[in-house]
Every structure is written in C-alpha cells, then in structure tokens.
Amino acid sequence: MSAAPDRTGRFAPSPTGTLHLGNLRTALLAWLYARAQGAAFRLRVEDLDAGRVRPGLEAAQLADLAAIGVDWDGPVVRQSERLERYGDALGVLDADGALYPCWCTRAEIREAASAPHGDLPEGHYPGTCRRLTAAQRAERERSGRPPALRVDAGAARIAFTDRLRGPRSGVVDDFVVRRNDGAHAYNLAVVVDDGAQGVGEVVRGEDLLDSTPRQLWLGGRLGLPAASYAHVPLVLGGDGARLAKRHGAVTLADRIELGETPAAVRGRLAASVGLAAPGEQPSPAQLVERFDPARFEPGPSGPLPGV
C-alpha cells in the first residue's frame, strides 16, 4: 500500500502592503486545506524585494493571520535569510547546462516577445540571448551591462492537474531566475523554498495559475518532489478588478474600525465560499470540520458581499 501524499501547506505573504480581505481568504483556504487533511502548515515571508519591503508590515501581517485563526507550524521562514540556498540552486542549474546570461533590455524583451516565434505563445521570451554567437556575446560582455540569468527550458510543455481547475498544461519559456541587479527571481525562490519546507500542496490565488508550469519544470530540474496545486478564486472589488486598498474598507483593521470583530470577518470570508451561513461566526475548529478538500467548490472570482 502506497503512503498518502504529504499535503503540507503554506502561505507566503510579501511585507510590501497590508493584507486585504482577499489575501486573508486565500490564507484561510490554504490553512483549511492543510488542517482538514491532518497536514502541517508553514508560514513564509517573501521579502526578497528589499526596495519595496516596509518596516512593521511583517508583524502586522502575522498578527492579522493569527486574529482570524490561522496558525502555523515551525518558525517563520524569511527569504532574505535564505540567499545561500538560492545561490546553491543556481549552481545546480549551471552545472546541468540549464542557464545562460541575458543582456536584453526591457524594450528588447517586449519587442522580441511580441513577434511570432514557433512553439512559444505570444508574450513569452523567445531565447534571444541563448542564440548569440561567441562574437555577439563578447560584445555584450564588453558593454559592462550586467546580465540576468535565464533557464534554457527548450519550450518544454508541462502538464498538471489542478485540484480546482482540472487538467492544465503550458509551454515554459526561458524565464529569469536571477535579475540583472543580482536579486534572485520569484520563480526560483518559491520553488527552492517549497522544496525545503516540504510543501506538498500549494493553495494560492488563481492569478498565479499560469506560473505553475514554470515552477514544476524548475523543481524537476532541481530534483525536487512535485507538489500538487489548488488555485482558488480571487476576491474582486465592485469594479471587477482584483481587490485593492482603493476599494475602501478592505483590511482587517478597516473592518474592526467599522465595528466588526475578527471572528465576524472570519465568518464573512467563510460565507463567501459557502462554508458558513451569512452572519454566522464559526470557530476555526468548526471550519476544519466542515471543510472537505475533495468536494470544495468555491465558485468564480467575485466581490465579497457587504464590502
């Protein structure tokens, strides 16, 4: 008899802004998927973009998660403390012949990605710098402009089955794993971290669905186990755009200022995906008892009633 798959989950906020109700609902769903399956739940702070990180936001985000009943196992992991691991992963890819330098400017990338180029969908980087001659590469090296590092993905097509979206597939372009300023890219860091934290099921917003083939391809090249995925619907504002601070009272602090308790906010989030009746305030334990990952159908993205 084969062992049951590890469903360890995670939530990974970036301390660049206050968590809004959409973020909190995604965190609650990720937590429910893990806890309802008897799995661990990890918390990771994605603070690689030092220029956008704001002091105090990490503590505020962790406090908001705790207030709605989301707890986690083990210490909080911070990407800024894991740069050596990302460098090691680049070393593995380089030794495997899977990296090449890219000197393209943003304008050149936009122009190249908008042109027809074989197997890759429009908008994907076509590997311009991968095809440079030795003379062309030497010319770019003499320019003094530091290159980014891209993977040589060979236009691989990666198929997977999303728990909520069903069978999916996508072509992997030569995406960046280290920027030209030396910063490690999101796709590299998230794959390395999920592998190191033993994440077996990634539950996140549907806006990240298209990045999944890249991350599965990269995990495979790094020899990491493939996680399963569930991409949950986003909370939208009244204008149909993804929820943001411009839409009004959309943070936990905003709702508390209007007289709601954290328990009421948790109930509102649960009711929006059919896990509670309107106005009900179930406890975290009650939500875990109600939640069936195999049967959960949250519906499409849309506004949060009453917000």
Q: Is 160 annotated as a binding residue?
A: no
121 appears as a binding residue in the annotation: no
Specify the CATH number of the domain 9-81+233-303: 3.40.50.620
In CATH, the number for domain 84-178 is 3.90.800.10
Task: Give me the pLDDT at residue 197, please.
Answer: 96
Known binding residue 102? Answer is yes
- The answer on whether 159 is annotated among ligand-binding residues is no
What is the Cα–Cα distance from 186 to 113, expressed in whole angstroms? Answer: 20
Q: For position 193, what pLDDT does the model report?
A: 98
Residue 4: predicted pLDDT: 56
Q: How many CA atoms lie less than 13 Å away from 233 in the CB half-sphere?
A: 18
- Give residue 64's pLDDT: 98
The pLDDT tens digits for 11-35 are: 999 999 999 999 999 999 999 999 9
Q: pTM of the full predicted structure? A: 0.93
pLDDT at 117: 59
46 labeled binding residue: yes
Q: Where are the domains of the chain?
A: 9-81+233-303, 84-178
Residue 125, annotated as binding a ligand: yes
Consult the annotation and say whether 229 binds a ligand.
Answer: no
Q: Is 10 annotated as a binding residue?
A: yes
**At 113, is the pLDDT very low, low, confident or very high (cuts 50, 70, 90)?**
low
pLDDT in tens, 240-289: 899 988 898 899 999 999 999 999 999 999 999 999 999 999 999 999 99
What percent of the chain stands above pLDDT 70?
A: 95
Whether the predicted pLDDT of 1 surpasses 50: no
**Is 129 assigned to a binding site?**
yes
